[in-house]
Amino acid sequence: LRNLYDGVPMDEVYKASILAARTLIEKDPDYTYATARLLLHTIRKEVLGQEVAPQELAQAYADYFPQFIQKGVQAELLDEKMQQFDLQRLGQALKPERDHKFDYLGLQTLYDRYFLHIRKTRIEMPQAFFMRVAMGLSLNEIDREARAIEFYEVLSSFDFMSSTPTLFNSGTLRSQLSSCYLTTVPDNLDGIYESIKENALLSKFAGGLGNDWTRVRALGSHIKGTNGESQGVVPFLKVVNDTAVAVNQGGKRKGAVCTYLETWHLDIEEFLELRKNTGDDRRRTHDMNTANWIPDLFMKRVMEKGEWTLFSPSDVPDLHYLFDKKFKKAYVVYEQKAARGEIKPSRTLQATDMWRKMLSMLFETGHPWITFKDACNVRSPQQHVGVVHSSNLCTEITLNTSDTETAVCNLGSVNLVQHLKDGANGKEVDHDKLKKTISTAMRMLDNVIDINYYAVKKARDSNLRHRPVGLGIMAFQDSLYELRVPYASQEAVDFADRSMEAVCYYAYLASTELAKERCKYSSYRGSLWDQGILPIDSLDVLAKERGGYVEVDRSSTMDWDALRKKIALDGMRNSNCVAIAPTATISNIIGVDASIEPCFGNLSVKSNLSGEFTVINHYLVRDLKRLGLWDDVMVMDLKHFDGSLRPIDRVPQEVRAVYATAFEGGTTWLGEAGARRPLTTCVPWAPPTPRNPP
């Protein structure tokens, strides 16, 4: 009422009601659904041009859908092939009641950044959006309508969600659907700027980038062509950073890139400081992620308190391509040469000093991330066709790259909390539903590879040859809430093990079924899959190569022998199948906690390009209401204590344990849960001692 005035337009009345409702979300999380309903009313009025009674909505959706597709094609937003579907059948398959599954943050995010529009006027409603994505992924299917409806069902029910590029671009004229692109940068100006150009082209259509810069010579290295000295990697990384800012994924979200550098590179110490807020700003990259690419030998030197030598890659070019024992052998020879003064420039320091600086920068800036080169290569199914030189933007996939191949990965995540059922001892994983969802999801991800728009030929060649996909999970924390299990507990670690084992098993099963239907991926012969070595088996290979230092529980509950036999018979459709992505935005869309992470705060404010949103833990509010503890004082206490229950004594201890935030649970438990997920390639570096988390 305070926002109303004489002559106020009705659009302003609707907006005022939304803004008024959103202020009450902190009082009761159900207000997020009330606010979403008000926003939904506005969206329908904008798209349909009129208000529609609830009982008439199904018919209104069915009538509108063919017109929406036609309008999108005429506006050169949608692919003309979309008109070849039986649009009446698909319109009848839409389920408008699923519009009510959205909370306010999810629906507002879709409205602002995902729904198609013509000159800022939306032409897409929520269920039409999901069907448009499903149709775009079904273009090459034989029974396109049946597959589109199948894909629509898993998307609109929130059982599975494709990654943001797929949601942005599926069915459009530029259907860039892949999430991640990985490149390795050569040590010459042509190659460097060609790589930066590729970054710009891939970022334009919403791809996330991972760049390996290890080959570029270090500061002070000799340049033969000019008889001068190199300025090293850092000045180029400033250009990479600014390119990501300038080419902001088609204006829909910020450009994103992660740069990887191996630990023996002579510029590594300056690389560690790229994200600092002090120092020469011309040698800082505030908008870019950075990551260490660490060989096992360095970790052994740290544990043994030995020395570590830094080189320019122009003097030791083969180190970039070597891993494990071959790397160690070559590295030691180069160390001896450097000690004799035969390799300049080089520098020797204590390995523990370098490790301490890495951890200090990680604590201060959150970067560079820690990634392990040898584990990623030893366990790579594709080591017969190349070397893994880096991970991707968010460090969830490890694919080989070269001067002729830009690696690509296609992501999507299962909503784990939607795959729990009541069992004899409480909630448990619903294996039948999980298997069915993953079978559909893997088909969707595999379809991306053939439909995808490739801005760079090297990416197309690589993706069609190896066909990697990354099926992940989200809502792990939500599942623990349903199970009444604290994240910081052995029960949570065991659930991480069992649930991810099931996801991996059904993903591999779906891929081998696709191989039977569609044929194996072309570089299958010689891969670890072909040798009968599955990802969980490769842990034994890693332990052998490392000489220990792999203290990971390897127990299993699924019939892996039967799966090995099936893969030996039918092969695999995809070289890589699973990857746990951050799911930052798609988790917002479906209203769950992101990825496999613990809750950030039980009452917090989330900021994104759509604005600021109050987020409150509805599981917690449900339990506090049951205990008679939810009131205005509790809201104020949660605000005061930054969303933490720990200092609020009147809340029972068992409730505080279940709803402990990421800052309270102890990071050791995160490592324990991660180590028990059998897909993990970057196995934590652990000495052979009993693991007993505090």
Among all residues, which ones are annotated catalytic?
A: 392, 394, 396
Burial class (CB in 10 A: 0-12, 13-18, 19+), 626: exposed
Q: Of 134, 156, 20, which Cα lies nearest the Cα of 85?
A: 134
Which residue has 């969303």 as its token pair?
Answer: 643
User: Sign of the CA dihedral 213, 214, 216, 221?
Assistant: positive
Task: Kindly report the number of other CB atoms within 10 A of residue 138's CB atom.
Answer: 27
Distance of CA 454 to the CA centre of its chain: 20
Dihedral-angle region of residue 462 (phi above 0 means left; psi in -120 to 50 means alpha; beta otherwise): alpha
∠ CA 142-578-324, rounded to 5°? 135
Q: Output DSSP code: residue 214.
A: T
Q: Do residues 365 and 275 lie in contact, with contact meaning Cβ atoms separated by under 8 Å? A: yes
* Single-letter residue type at 598: P
Can you spell out the DSSP letters for 183-213?
Answer: EE--SSHHHHHHHHHHHHHHHHTT-EEEEE-
SS (H, E, C) 302-316: HHCCCEEEEECCCCC
d(CA 485, CA 479): 9
Dihedral-angle region of residue 580 (phi above 0 means left; psi in -120 to 50 means alpha; beta otherwise): beta
Q: Do residues 278 and 286 lie in contact, with contact meaning Cβ atoms separated by under 8 Å? A: no
Residue 181 pairs in a beta bridge with 209, 408
Distance of CA 596 to the CA centre of its chain: 11
Q: What share of the chain is helix, strand, coil (3-state, %, to 5)?
A: 50, 15, 40
Q: Of 186, 176, 364, which Cα lies nearest the Cα of 252?
A: 176
Which residue has 């000295």 as its token pair?
Answer: 229
d(CA 412, CA 355): 34
Q: Output DSSP code: residue 470.
A: E
